[in-house]
Structure 1
Amino acid sequence: MRLHTTTVPSLSTLFFLALAGCSNGSSGAADSISSAPVRQEGKYAPVPAPLSSAVLDKRLLDESDLGEGYTRKPQQTGGHDDVTVSGCPALVKLGGDAVIGDSFAFPRKAKASFTYAGGTDSEVAEELYSGTEENLSKGVGRIFEVMTSCPRYQVLVGATPITVTTRKLPAPKLGEERWSQLLTFTVGGRSSVVKQTAVRTGTVVVVVSGSVALVDAHVAKAVDKAHGAG
């Protein structure tokens, strides 16, 4: 699998890389999805339409939600590193399916990343995605299944080799569907651990990634705000 990412830190959330590949080249058709009637308990009920990127952006956590000590990181816009994955055939296939336009593509999205002054390498990132319930459920479920199917694999970002190990975790009881995993990235003998939790409610998926403590502290708050409860 060979994808492009704007920053090496986004490798710490390989889910984002997979979604980036899934979204490329398909935003035009998917962005025009509208609600349609569906039969429910003998009646026709409207299916909620996916939210726009602009609406999602307003539902991201900000410094006031997170509390003291958090600083939002500026979005990286320039420079692309080639990313090559080896040692995980299922993940390679997932990337290939994304390139040829597989069924899951989430062009409606928003993201924010924050550093926390309370510790070294303490960061937390949130991404919101919106689409049909079926596409979100199948797409996100497949990505997490694939990523945790290979307990160890290699990633080459530019000229930097990275060893990735993954482990499936119990997910918090939030939303209608949820997934969670722990990823360890080893570069030059130094390792960092990233927890990643995704929660789907209706037509929105919330993905929170970062240090274990920060993800645990903020994922419920992120889910609430994403659905207008925050």
Structure 2
Amino acid sequence: MRISTSGTRRWTLAAALCGVLITGCSSGGGDGGEAKPHAKPAAEPKPLAETALHPLLLTQADLGTGYVHLQEKPGGDKFDDVAVQGCPALEKLGQSGEEKMFAAKAETSFTYKRDATLGEELHSDRPSVLSGKLRQLFGAYTSCPTYTMTAGTTPIKVKVTKSATPDLGDEQFAYTSTMELPSGAQVLKTMAVRKGSVAVMLAGAPALVDRHMKTAVGKLPARG
């Protein structure tokens, strides 16, 4: 997830790193299960196109007062200067880019009262692909309780803990990251909920992620 880094200095770096903490890396195929010898696999729903995902994103009207939408600038950086050390699973994922992780993607981001951020990504693919890659992605991010992230020349210590998830959709994943920034500790929560062939991911201030995930999932189409 890319979150704009324009705005006050208090959350600029945290907002940029928030993008890296969600899908700032790519992954391989989904988990495979044992095939039943005489069972014909059911046809899976096809992925939605990017144009169909955009209307499903959260808006200022969904969020309420105090939120400002951040406009993405074309040709912005892709966090090429951000690297991870001390966590083999994340280092392995970071060897390739994020853009083709799923078949389709749409994203948006907001600031809240100028000192907190909330970013959203919608991804669509076949349910088995979404499930397998989400498990791999969140598994990698929660595989190391601590690691170091370098943004440019600034080393940042990151602590990660698994988080509770709400009973929404078909699958849920969440973790919380505490980053020791030069300006002080910043806590960010990343949560994903898969509903059929669409997954919604929210990342940002923990209270904002918890507050708006139900609304975000409610905008997704019925399972099909």
Q: 2:50 matched to 1:56?
A: no
Cα distance, 1:116 vs structure 2? 1.2
| Range that drifts further, 76-85 or 46-55 | 76-85
CA distance in 2, matches of 1:6, 1:122: 12
Alignment RMSD: 2.7
CA distance in 1, matches of 2:156, 2:4: 17
> Who is 2:101 aligned against?
105
Q: Which one-letter code corresponds to 1:206 in the other structure?
A: V
> Who is 1:16 aligned against?
23
Structure (1 or 2) with the greater helix fraction: 1
CA distance in 1, matches of 2:3, 2:108: 16
Deviation beyond 6 Å, 4+ runs, structure 1: none
Matched residue pairs, number?
A: 201
Question: Contact 1:163/1:186 (CA < 8 Å) preserved in 2?
Answer: yes
Q: Which runs of 5+ in 2 are unaligned?
A: 6-12, 29-35
CA distance in 2, matches of 1:177, 1:141: 10
Q: Please give the secondary structure, in 2, of the residue aligned with 1:51.
A: coil
> Who is 1:68 aligned against?
65
> Who is 2:175 aligned against?
181
Q: Which one-letter code corresponds to 2:144 in the other structure?
A: C
Q: 2:60 matched to 1:94?
A: no
Q: Which one-letter code corresponds to 1:129 in the other structure?
A: H
CA distance in 2, matches of 1:208, 1:227: 17
Cα distance, 1:158 vs structure 2? 1.7
CA distance in 2, matches of 1:149, 1:43: 35
> Who is 2:77 aligned against?
79
> Who is 1:134 aligned against?
128
Deviations 1:150-205 (A, max 9, x none): 11111112222221110001111111110011011112261110111100111111
Partner residue of 1:123 out of 117, 120, 123: 117
Question: Contact 2:4/2:70 (CA < 8 Å) preserved in 1?
Answer: no
Identity between Structure 1 and Structure 2 (%): 38
Q: Which runs of 5+ in 1 are unaligned?
A: 24-38
TM-score (norm 2): 0.80
CA distance in 2, matches of 1:189, 1:112: 26
CA distance in 1, matches of 2:73, 2:176: 25
